[in-house]
Amino acid sequence: MAELSVMDKLVSLCKRRGFIFQSSEIYGGLGSVWDYGPLGVALKNNIKAAWWRAMVQAREDIEGLDAAILMHPEVWVASGHVAGFTDPLVDCRTCKGRFRADHLQGAACPRKPSKHPGEHTECDLTAARQFNLMFKTFMGPMEESAAVVYLRPETAQGIYVNYLNVLQSSRQKIPFGIAQIGKVFRNEITPGNFTFRTREFEQMEMQFFVTPGTDEEWFETWRGLRMEWHRSLGLAAEKLRWHQHGPEELAHYARAAYDIEYQFPFGWQEIEGIHNRTDFDLRRHQEHSGKKLEYFDQAANARYLPYIVETSVGADRVALTVLVDAYREETVAGETRVVLGFHPAVAPIKAAVLPLVKKDGMPERAQAVYQDVRRRWSAFYDDSGAIGRRYRRMDEAGTPFCITIDGETLSDGTVTLRDRDSMAQERVAADRVVEWLGSRIDG
Amino acid sequence: MAELSVMDKLVSLCKRRGFIFQSSEIYGGLGSVWDYGPLGVALKNNIKAAWWRAMVQAREDIEGLDAAILMHPEVWVASGHVAGFTDPLVDCRTCKGRFRADHLQGAACPRKPSKHPGEHTECDLTAARQFNLMFKTFMGPMEESAAVVYLRPETAQGIYVNYLNVLQSSRQKIPFGIAQIGKVFRNEITPGNFTFRTREFEQMEMQFFVTPGTDEEWFETWRGLRMEWHRSLGLAAEKLRWHQHGPEELAHYARAAYDIEYQFPFGWQEIEGIHNRTDFDLRRHQEHSGKKLEYFDQAANARYLPYIVETSVGADRVALTVLVDAYREETVAGETRVVLGFHPAVAPIKAAVLPLVKKDGMPERAQAVYQDVRRRWSAFYDDSGAIGRRYRRMDEAGTPFCITIDGETLSDGTVTLRDRDSMAQERVAADRVVEWLGSRIDG
């Protein structure tokens, strides 16, 4: 049997420990749609909360927003998505495969031996057609008379069309930002690589409105802040890099664009984009809606359309990056140990409490410690199986600390604190456990 | 001009203060779709966090889940939604109006004078047709060959199809529950009453899996817990009541059902449903998927399909209930004061810090207090306009406490703490403000 790839092993671990399940698995699954299990939803919530904290709660110049997924269809005409949010698609008349014309070198023809589409003599590719990635549906009773509406492919437009409402109700002044977390949908031709590219995903986008002329400086500021944020999640610095969009790569709305890329097992890939969108979006919405979207700058006594610096990142993609970055296998005493070495800030469970045996009063002592710990952090109580197996389960769940109640606890009131990464064990008085954990979890 | 209704005034306040905006307003709006502004997203996040805390974090017998909106279409065949998730629809051939056949008494014909559809001599209603409320879309490139998929109309099915995966990865034993918060979509024929009935909304559902025979007891337990939860948000007890579904009202899947109703300005309406769904759902999914969904009960050495007690509530509907319940107008010294009397647990801003004037060192003192307060709670700093106007703005935002820095602060180090509801003012030493707030906000 061929050795499993790291990604295959991660997919398997994610199912086993309840991070990520295939959607509708009992029905054979739905292509490239995934569900988050108990540990997965905790991980993703921790990531979203960290982003919201950094963007909205810690700053006075950014407001939160939660615009709906469904929007007026004219929004997507103005934004350029109806005309241009397309990928070029080719079909193979022979094998009936469907591929992105611009990704043929990354795809495999279903015929054997494995080659790229177009490389077998039998391959018969059609000319490329433009395929729009927006999902559409029908709103209002009766399909024939209903309005065609789209599932938004990005949250940004919800921010642009609401910007004056936010400005007026919050009494912010430029420069200020609006941040949003929410689901988006893209009917990708070739999704894949686990949760890296999926048809339904959650974006975390922030649009920062600035005076024209100050946009380049703000662009640099946001580049710095966003790279710092990814590092604060514990991602390895050497696996993060910048990719600057060249003139041919730049989207129609952008004057400058940098991606933060991460080195996945399947190559360097974008995890976040920082874009200088100029006044492109507000100008388009002003034209299409017929509503003035200018900002009146009291200090300068001037009216203008603000420029926008955007930071756009996928919550699912960050969760996958955190999982990939944390995954490691080690050989310990001749056995393989699988560890998710999460930073405590994102770990779904911060500490586990384990009575060595289910007798001699250990469960009672363990419960007391457990109740103390879970008042402050997400904690887990486990009293079943050999202690070694319980440690391994917590290693796989990415739990940074294990607290073991044993015979010594009964005699001297100390417990064993085990560090997931070093596996070092230390004895600490039971009534100092919270303090010990606090300095390591909350910094 | 006719006097505005309470609901009209609330809609206006929600826009003015940044709670809720109409979706795509600059394009004339999208029917019955709404966006949450800065205060609205904070309010809704507080409600969702309170639910998640009560359901998942405070309990060891409930696991979290975040299943995708898109699911395998067979899920909705098994659940009964493809065949039966319908409302009866009638058209009027004269006025082209479209109405729910079972809600004609609640609808108004567009002809004047205002009457119910069918009551004007010109009314010419069609026979009722069954209209399916699920939004559908097409997944995969090319509409003609793509799979028809639905936008889920409830989160519950995502829990049922994942229940064995959650059970196995979490090592829970029955009785246990799975909780989820997520967007759902229903193509309502007649949405309305602001955010009460919308086509896109967020559900908070918990499915509790129990041994058959224990379901009635668990049903009563969950009824009690859920009513208590609504009261913990500060909702007026006399505006909450139970409605038991009679034999004709019961859904096909339910053996027993109770709604928690709230007395809105537009009548008593459901805000939460508690249902005994028996083994209906798991049995259907077992039949349709061909996969065994039985639970092996080690203690009883028996295999069975668990019964399910469901609690289902809308986050948007709770947010609206909290807004309606909090809204009041009072006459104070001959002027009308509008107040949102939020419970501190859900208030978007817990405290505002207000320097009386922008000089004499007051802003510096105020900033010091503000930084202390915002380390623990969501706080707001406001130094512009007359102090009375600033109080009124905070009353409208539902901020429970205002902290004013004035001349006395400079001389004796005390600040004024103003209670939103009583408008009582109290002087407290600046360095005891956090403690004073703590006992009132965190209880």
pLDDT in tens, B160-189: 999 999 999 999 999 999 999 999 999 998
Residue A374: is its pLDDT beyond 70?
A: yes
Give, as one character, the DSSP assignment of residue A197: B
Q: What is the mean pLDDT of residues A295-310?
A: 96
Record: contact B21-A162, CB cut-off 8 A = yes
- Chain B, 324 to 363: residues with Cβ < 8 Å from chain A are none
- Chain A, 258 to 297: residues with Cβ < 8 Å from chain B are 285, 288-289, 291, 293
Task: Select from A34, A137, A200 the Cβ nearest to the Cβ of B135.
Answer: A137
Of residues B236, B309, B325, the one with CA closest to residue B273: B309
Contact A254, A245 (CB under 8 A): yes
The rounded mean pLDDT for chain B is 94
Residue A400: is its pLDDT beyond 60?
A: yes
What pLDDT shows up at residue B251? 84
Instruction: Express as a percent the part of chain A with pLDDT over 70.
Output: 98
What pLDDT shows up at residue B111? 84
Q: Hey, where are the domains in chain A?
A: 6-85+133-323, 349-441
Lowest-pLDDT range of A79-88, A100-109, B260-269: A100-109
Segment (H or E) for B389:
helix B387-397
Residue B77: is its pLDDT beyond 80?
A: yes
Minimal-distance CA residue of chain B relative to A178:
B38
Residue B402: half-sphere exposure toward Cβ, Cα within 13 Å: 28
- Chain centroid offset of residue A55 CA: 15
- Which residues of chain B neighbour A185 with C-beta distances below 8 Å? 70
Instruction: Flag whether residue A131 sits within 8 Å of chain B, measured between CB atoms.
Output: yes
Residue A70: is its pLDDT beyond 80?
A: yes
pLDDT digits (tens, 9 = 90+) for B388-433: 999 999 999 999 999 999 999 999 999 999 999 999 999 999 999 9
Cis amide prior to A153 (ω within 30 degrees): no
User: Would you state the structure tokens that stand for residue A118, as one six-digit string?
Assistant: 């177009």
User: Would you state the structure tokens that stand for residue A386, as one six-digit string?
Assistant: 């050999």
Residue A273: is its pLDDT beyond 90?
A: yes
Residue B86: is its pLDDT beyond 60?
A: yes
Strand boundaries in A282-367, DSSP class E: 295-297, 302-304, 307-314, 327-332, 335-340, 351-355
Which of helix, strand or coil describes residue B423? coil
What pLDDT shows up at residue B252? 81
Q: In the structure, what pLDDT confidence band is assigned to residue A103 with cuts at 50, 70 and 90?
A: confident
Q: What is the mean pLDDT of residues B373-388?
A: 95
Instruction: Express as a percent the part of chain A with pLDDT over 90.
Output: 83
A236 φ, ψ (degrees, to nearest 5): -65, 125
pLDDT digits (tens, 9 = 90+) for A172-187: 999 999 999 999 999 9
Q: In the structure, what pLDDT confidence band is assigned to residue B228 with cuts at 50, 70 and 90?
A: very high
**Domain spanning B349-441: CATH superfamily:** Anticodon-binding domain (3.40.50.800)
Q: Which residue has the higher pLDDT, B189 or A379?
A: A379
Q: In the structure, what pLDDT confidence band is assigned to residue B142 with cuts at 50, 70 and 90?
A: low
Residue B333: is its pLDDT beyond 90?
A: no
Record: contact B138-A139, CB cut-off 8 A = no
Q: In the structure, what pLDDT confidence band is assigned to residue A170 with cuts at 50, 70 and 90?
A: very high
User: What CA–CA distance (Å, rounded) separates A371 from A369?
Assistant: 6
Segment (H or E) for B181:
strand B176-185
Lowest-pLDDT range of A115-129, B202-216, B255-269, B428-442: A115-129
Segment (H or E) for A267:
strand A267-278
Minimal-distance CA residue of chain B relative to A293:
B26
Q: What is the nearest CA distance from A354 to chain B, expressed in angstroms?
A: 15
Q: In the structure, what pLDDT confidence band is assigned to residue A144 with cuts at 50, 70 and 90?
A: low
Record: contact A72-B23, CB cut-off 8 A = yes
Contact B20, B195 (CB under 8 A): yes
Residue A142: is its pLDDT beyond 70?
A: no
Name every residue whose Cβ is closer than 8 Å to that of residue A103 and which is 6 or more positions away in sequence.
A190
Q: What is the mean pLDDT of residues A263-283?
A: 97
- Chain centroid offset of residue B262 CA: 13
Record: contact B60-A35, CB cut-off 8 A = no
- What is the pTM (predicted TM-score) of this model? 0.96
What pLDDT shows up at residue B145? 61
Q: In the structure, what pLDDT confidence band is assigned to residue A2 with cuts at 50, 70 and 90?
A: low
User: Would you state the structure tokens that stand for residue B378, as one six-digit string?
Assistant: 């969501």
pLDDT digits (tens, 9 = 90+) for B104-130: 888 888 888 888 898 888 899 999 988
What pLDDT shows up at residue A330? 95
Q: What is the mean pLDDT of residues A199-223?
A: 98
Q: What is the mean pLDDT of residues A48-52?
A: 98
What pLDDT shows up at residue A24? 96
Residue A1: is its pLDDT beyond 60?
A: no
Q: In the structure, what pLDDT confidence band is assigned to residue A389 with cuts at 50, 70 and 90?
A: very high
User: Would you state the structure tokens that stand for residue A42, as one six-digit string?
Assistant: 């905790």
- Chain A, 46 to 65: residues with Cβ < 8 Å from chain B are 57, 60, 63-65
**Cα radius of gyration rounded to whole Å, chain A:** 26
Instruction: Flag whether residue B68 sits within 8 Å of chain A, measured between CB atoms.
Output: yes
What pLDDT shows up at residue A143? 62
What pLDDT shows up at residue A205? 98
What pLDDT shows up at residue B190? 82
Strand partners, B278: B308
What number of residues does chain A have? Answer: 443
Topology of the domain covering A6-85+133-323: BirA Bifunctional Protein; domain 2 (3.30.930)
Q: What is the mean pLDDT of residues B305-322?
A: 98
- Which residues of chain B neighbour A99 with C-beta distances below 8 Å? none
- Chain centroid offset of residue B381 CA: 28
Record: contact A31-B151, CB cut-off 8 A = no
The rounded mean pLDDT for chain A is 94
pLDDT digits (tens, 9 = 90+) for A322-362: 999 999 999 988 999 999 999 999 999 999 999 999 999 99
How many H helices and E strands in chain A? 12, 23
Q: What is the mean pLDDT of residues A372-379?
A: 96
